[in-house]
Chains A and B, each alone.
Chain A
Amino acid sequence: MTASSVAARSRARAGGRAIRVTGFVIVAVLAYMGLLFVSFQQSWLVGTSVLPPDRALPLALQQTINALSIGAIYALIALGYTMVYGIIELINFAHGDVFMIGAFLAVVLTGGIFGQSGDVTNIPFLAFLLLAALLFTMPLTGGLNMFIERVFYRPFRGGNRLAPLITAVGVSFILQNLALVVAGSGDRAAPQIFPLEWQIPVGGAEISVLSIFIFALAVVLMLLLQGFVTRTRLGRAMRATAQDQQAASLMGVDLNQTIALTFLLGGALAGAAGVVWGLRFGFVRQDLGFNAGLKAFTSAVLGGIGNITGAALGGFIIGFVENFAVSLGFSRWSEFVVFLILTIVLIFRPTGILGQQLGDRA
């Protein structure tokens, strides 16, 4: 078999996979919408706020889009967890705080340097601002994550697995405290430069353009990541290192560089998530990273930790689950439901939805 025919076949297989994944995503989103639509009409679920079908459908659509956008944020953070876990088997507890720093940096840029405080309706300027925020935040959070790895995790490499876990939480405390000292406690307003009034009216509900933007941005970043990991030399080095560090280094892979790169990419994605967090929720706080990080980590585990597709899938599932609880008026119980789902999934699939059996390491 010639090399070109192998390449052609793998391209064809990749094409088939893309179609299957897209089909699955569409089916899943429609199924979720259907579920919401039906749930909105159940009096035993929503009590007195039962909606008639003609109002339930647009609302279901609106909530589905919201779920996709929050899921996208979780998925972006989860990718960093899963990549780091895949490569050095460390639960990087500081990752959520890197995301938090990203959210703060975006506020510093848009609010501080560009002096924006609200809607920017001039589309080219808005695009410039968003791009600037991403280009400012992503390298910095990526660099921060890389620095954390270099200073706090690398000394432990290859030995003890619990010590770096404690260090990771220690780093998380340090980052939170720094943010607390610099920005003060309590919510700080984040400039929502993306106009929230931009909505597409559908029936009685409005679909937020911002949510669509967040989802689209996340999908683009994930495709870029996927492309990087599967198509480039460095990506191949990353996968090889994740599979077997010793063998990879014997094949000439520079472990330090590859692991640093993994942290860089994970941090950059968390930074992007931080940028859109501020746009969507309009506030930043120093303990933001803990909850978001916990849910993102849950997403990564749910999808099968170490698996990039799994992290994205898990992020969206958590987004859906949380949105489901919130839409039906159980927002206080959303975390409970998230962990309940995690428990149920792990009972039946102990390695997550797409994960494969790992060795016994505690």
Chain B
Amino acid sequence: MSAPAVRWSPGGFVPPETRARIRAFSDAHRSMSILVAMSVVSLLMILLPHVPPLSFLSTATPWYDSFANAGTFMLLAMGLNIVVGLTGLLDLGYAAFFAIGSYAYAFSNSPFSHQNLPFFPMLIVGAAIAALFGIALGAPTLRLRGDYLAIMTLGFGEIVPIVFLNLDKWTKGTNGISGIYRPEPLPILGEFTPITSFNYMVVMLFVVTVAMMLIYRLQDSRIGRAWVAIREDELAAAANGINTVVTKLLAFALGATLSGFAGVFNASKLTIVSPDQFYFTVSFTVMAMVIIGGMGNIWGVAAGAFVVYMIQAVLLKQVNAIVELLNVPAFNLGPIQVNLGAINFLEYQYLLYGLALVAMMLKRPEGLFPSSARRAELHTIVAPEVATAVGALGETPGADEDLGGDPGEAVP
């Protein structure tokens, strides 16, 4: 089954000339265009909760709250994108660094540890600690390839929460560390309170903007090109003088840095950290965000993270309310009577989430906003069933490539 010929694309309604002009501008002035885009996004975020259908579902505060949380996942997804999307290292235990960042803040800012260090410096310190662990995990995995790396990182992702769970003398085990202090008040916006979450959203917007600018700059730098080279062909990259060890470790470290930021932010927002916040579901969700967003494309991944988070944490929780709002009458489906209003959709949350993931992957395996290189890559490969159906050797690019091309070397 190949993808349908007619494709939906985010810029479908904009005339091509305008689109080309926008693209040329954004290529020339990356940071500026990020700033402009993020300001638009910020405005939208502040206004959106007051638009009627959305304001009916819930008041502005829960919206700001989930926007701030979505920001956490955007940071995580952008960090994982460095490791998976740019460098091509499959990391399934990314939540481990998120956990390390969160616990780092919890240790520095809670009644349990009798510390109260300032938030913004801790944002850096927590990220640095996570980066160190990123290097520590990266080092033994350098020789591993593909799925062996995946299982090892998966193992690391499992080990870290277990360690936090079992070392209850220092982490209070299952209960987690609670009563974590909130950040100190911002100059104009004032106190961070659980009631409005507005400040958290502002801080998150700021952090995401800065992170995005930095990653775009990195991607176009020597390091970024080295990452992509390693993703495409590690041997060739090494042969061209790229120090693959340092470059891969740097990818792990920078990926972990971003999740460290996210962790510190998350701990200060939730004011509690416990091991069950960091199990495989988190690693997987971030992975899904990266893939659904369009691996390798930085803004695509961030947007994908936002979409997936909103589906998972907001939409699925609101399905009951939406169905109620739509007021679908009960109807008969053959002998079965269907009354959507009577179904508690919260019970089916994961089912719907799973279905949404599967549907998104089946419809757009390259993600919602793929990078142009990846889109091209995915649409030249012909599935082997098509190749076998055609039956003739060498007529499809996929078959040609896999059989090694040169017949002279295949026959001795």
Q: Which chain A residues have a beta carbon within 8 Å of chain B's beta carbons?
A: 85, 89, 91, 152, 154-160, 162-167, 169-174, 176-178, 180-181, 245-247, 249-250, 255-256, 290, 294, 297-298, 301, 305, 332-333, 335-336, 338-340, 342-343, 346-347, 350-352, 358-362
Contacts and interface: CB of A to CB of B under 8 A. Distances in A.
A115 B234 CA distance: 59
B125 interface: no
B36 interface: no
Nearest to B382: A158
B350 A176 contact: yes
Contact of B284 (A169, A256, A346): A169
B351 A167 contact: no
Contacts of B357: 166-167, 169-170, 173
A171 B362 contact: no
A157 B384 contact: yes
A350 to B, nearest CB: 5
Nearest to B166: A332
Interface stretch (B18-26, B143-151, B334-342): B143-151
B385 interface: yes
Nearest to A246: B402
B140 A298 contact: no
A156 B146 contact: no
A298 B155 contact: yes
17 contacts: A154-B1, A166-B357, A167-B361, A171-B354, A174-B350, A174-B351, A177-B348, A177-B354, A246-B399, A249-B387, A332-B162, A346-B144, A350-B144, A350-B148, A359-B146, A362-B149, A362-B231
B384 A160 contact: no
B385 A342 contact: no
Interface in B339-396: 347-351, 353-358, 361-362, 365-366, 378, 381-388, 393
A170 B357 CA distance: 6
Nearest to B137: A343
Interface string B280-299: 10001001100110010000
Contacts of B362: 152, 155, 167
A77 B280 CA distance: 20
Q: DSSP majority for the A interface?
A: helix
B365 to A, nearest CB: 4
Interface of B: 1, 84, 88-90, 140-141, 143-152, 154-156, 158-159, 162-163, 165-166, 231, 233-235, 280, 284, 287-288, 291-292, 295, 347-351, 353-358, 361-362, 365-366, 378, 381-388, 393, 398-399, 402-403
Contact of A156 (B143, B145, B365): B365
B366 A342 contact: no
Given A91-B150, A163-B361, A173 B354 contact: yes
A352 B89 CA distance: 18
Contacts of B350: 173-174, 176-177, 180
Contacts of A362: 88-90, 145-146, 149, 231
A158 B351 CA distance: 27
Given A180-B347, A246-B402, 17 more contacts: A85-B147, A154-B1, A157-B383, A160-B378, A167-B358, A171-B354, A173-B354, A181-B348, A255-B384, A255-B388, A294-B158, A294-B280, A332-B166, A335-B162, A338-B155, A342-B152, A343-B152
Contacts of A301: 147-148, 151
Q: Most B CB atoms within 10 A — which of A250, A255, A305, A339? A: A339
Nearest to B93: A339
Contact of B387 (A158, A160, A176): A158
Q: DSSP majority for the B interface?
A: helix
A21 B31 CA distance: 63
Given A181-B347, A246-B403, A362-B88, A166 B291 contact: yes
A347 B231 contact: no
B29 to A, nearest CB: 32
A328 B385 CA distance: 52
Given A169-B357, A170-B357, A245 B365 contact: no
B351 A181 contact: yes
Contact of B388 (A89, A170, A249, A297): A249
A42 B209 CA distance: 57
Contacts of A154: 1, 385
Nearest to B141: A346
Contacts of A166: 287-288, 291-292, 357, 361
Q: Most A CB atoms within 10 A — which of B1, B147, B383, B387? A: B147
Contacts of A169: 284, 288, 354, 357
Q: Most A CB atoms within 10 A — which of B152, B356, B381? A: B152
A286 B387 CA distance: 40
A176 B147 CA distance: 24
A358 B291 contact: no
Contact of A350 (B145, B353, B381, B386): B145
A359 B145 CA distance: 8
A290 B90 CA distance: 20
Contacts of B154: 294
A297 B153 CA distance: 13
B148 A339 contact: no
Given A158-B381, A246-B387, A178 B146 contact: no
A342 B147 CA distance: 13
A107 B92 CA distance: 33
Nearest to A347: B140
B234 A360 contact: yes
Contacts of B89: 362
Contacts of A361: 145-147
A169 B9 CA distance: 26
Contact of B162 (A85, A157, A336, A347): A336
